[in-house]
């Protein structure tokens, strides 16, 4: 038997024993993804249709209209990019920075670092201002840096998933406009869950993801840009260096022409339409209130149990809470216990907070009073089992 035939025979024999795909039931209360809404999963399971089918093109228009509502904007170019949130993050850099242009990045966590990394790869002149992981920037600090450094783009993370900080954005867009600077916002952990007013706050560019506040599986990254951003894109001196994420090409597919660019993930767009429809049905302000109410219930419950939260309440992120791991507790052991015995996932700290905090997410469909009660009860009954010292209290 030849080598090729032998490999084929071995593969056929071994692979025939694979069972059907099985995934255990999980309640995802970590930094994301969160659980998708059952109605979203129903839409995801519909039979695919062609990405240039009239029915699909009509659905694309629905998605754009619903996204504008959720973003609270009237931007013409508003779309779900094919790819996870990092795709739209990179699109924001690739399309709007040319080699040597200055970008000012306000870094206060892991995802600020990612923006810096991406901007460096596109040969931008990167300037960074930084805060410790757990603090936010003041308006005055940002205003001073923009007026002093005169960047072409100012970028900041609205909801920093690594540290649990919610960054105030009021007034920053006005400063950017006065200094001929585009205002870029990472809204990955805020869109569809927290107050976010793209037009009112004069945000020029923003991106997010599908798997958090929108109650969908990961795979799409909502993006929006206004006329100021369109003008900057159209005045580029060089071609956008990333073909797949080139908004001048995507515009032809998501614009009025609907000209083919790539094979769209049609089922994911079925899903995001349903997730956005559910938000519209609940009402955006009701959604925001639900997330804030459930987060405060979680915070109060954790503090009653003697836990210390990492971020001051003034800047605490309702969708993602960072709680300090008590010194006497085996943090990884407790997380694994919750997952293996109760099917509940909470996250470890990321970056410099690894091993120091747990990250608890209440996003989209998962932001419910029932989930908060369930998790607090487990912290109350199970955490003591993972004390390193038998007599420890925390």
Burial profile 30-66: b = 16 or more Cβ within 10 angstroms, e = fewer: bbbbbbbbeebeebbeeeeeebeeeebeebbeebbeb
- pLDDT at position 11 over 70: no
**Beta-ladder partners of 126:** 103
228 annotated among ligand-binding-site residues: no
Whole-number pLDDT of residue 388: 64
Percent of the chain with pLDDT over 70: 94
- pLDDT, position 254: 87
For residues 328-356, average pLDDT? 95
Q: 229-251 burial, b for 16+ CB within 10 Å, e for fewer?
A: bbebbeeeeeebeeeebbbeebb
Where would I find the H helices in the chain?
3-15, 38-44, 54-71, 85-96, 110-121, 139-149, 172-178, 227-234, 247-254, 266-282, 284-304, 331-342, 369-382
Tell me which residue of 191, 222, 181 sits closest to 89, measured CA to CA. Answer: 222
The answer, yes or no, to whether residue 241 has pLDDT greater than 80, is: yes
CATH class as words, domain 38-281: alpha beta
Give the whole-angstrom CA distance, residue 159 versus residue 168: 9
Residue-wise pLDDT for 277-321, tens only, equals 999 999 999 999 999 999 999 999 999 999 999 999 999 999 999
Per domain, the residue ranges of the chain are 27-32+283-386, 38-281
273 or 263, greater pLDDT? 273
Secondary structure element (H or E) that encloses residue 221, with its range:
strand 220-225
- Alpha carbons 172 and 277: distance in angstroms, whole number: 30
Q: Which CATH number fits domain 27-32+283-386: 1.10.3720.10, 3.20.10.10, 3.30.1330.60, 3.90.1150.10?
A: 3.90.1150.10
**Would the pLDDT of 213 be above 70?**
yes
Judge whether 191 and 223 are in contact, CB under 8 Å. no
Among 192, 211, 227, 217, smallest CA distance to 31 is for: 211
Task: For residue 203, give both structure tokens.
Answer: 């945000």
């Amino acid at each position: 038997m030849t080598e090729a035939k032998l490999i084929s025979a071995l593969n056929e024999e071994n692979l025939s024993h694979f069972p059907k795909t099985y995934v255990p039931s999980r309640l995802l209360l970590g930094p994301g993804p969160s659980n998708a809404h059952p109605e979203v999963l129903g839409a995801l399971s519909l039979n695919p249709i062609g990405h240039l089918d009239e029915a699909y093109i009509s659905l694309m228009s629905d998605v754009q209209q619903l996204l504008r509502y959720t973003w609270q904007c009237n931007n013409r170019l508003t779309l779900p990019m094919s790819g996870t949130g990092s795709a739209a993050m990179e699109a924001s850099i690739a399309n709007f920075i040319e080699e040597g242009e200055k970008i000012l990045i306000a870094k206060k966590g892991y995802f600020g670092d990612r923006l810096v990394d991406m901007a460096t790869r596109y040969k931008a002149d990167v300037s960074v201002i930084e805060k410790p992981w757990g603090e936010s920037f003041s308006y005055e600090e940002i205003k001073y840096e923009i007026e002093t450094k005169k960047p072409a783009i100012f970028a900041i993370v609205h909801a920093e998933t690594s540290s649990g900080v919610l960054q105030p954005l009021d007034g920053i867009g006005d400063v950017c406009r006065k200094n001929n600077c585009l205002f870029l916002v990472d809204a990955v952990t805020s869109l569809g869950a927290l107050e976010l007013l793209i037009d009112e706050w004069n945000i020029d560019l923003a991106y997010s993801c599908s798997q958090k506040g929108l109650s969908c599986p990961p795979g799409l990254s909502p993006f929006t840009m206004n006329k100021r951003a369109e003008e900057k894109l159209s005045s580029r001196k060089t071609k956008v260096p990333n073909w797949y994420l080139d908004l001048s090409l995507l515009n032809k597919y998501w614009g009025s022409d609907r000209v083919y660019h790539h094979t769209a993930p049609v089922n994911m767009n079925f899903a995001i339409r349903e997730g956005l429809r559910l938000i519209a049905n609940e009402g955006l302000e009701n959604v925001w209130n639900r997330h804030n109410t459930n987060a405060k219930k979680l915070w109060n419950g954790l503090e009653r149990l003697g836990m210390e939260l990492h971020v001051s309440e003034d800047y605490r992120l309702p969708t993602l809470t960072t709680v300090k791991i008590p010194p006497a507790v085996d943090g990884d052991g407790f997380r694994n216990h919750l997952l293996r015995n109760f099917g509940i996932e909470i996250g470890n700290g990321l970056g410099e907070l690894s091993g120091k905090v747990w990250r608890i997410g209440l996003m989209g469909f998962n932001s419910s009073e029932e989930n908060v009660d369930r998790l607090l009860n487990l912290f109350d009954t199970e955490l003591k089992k993972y004390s390193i010292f038998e007599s420890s209290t925390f």
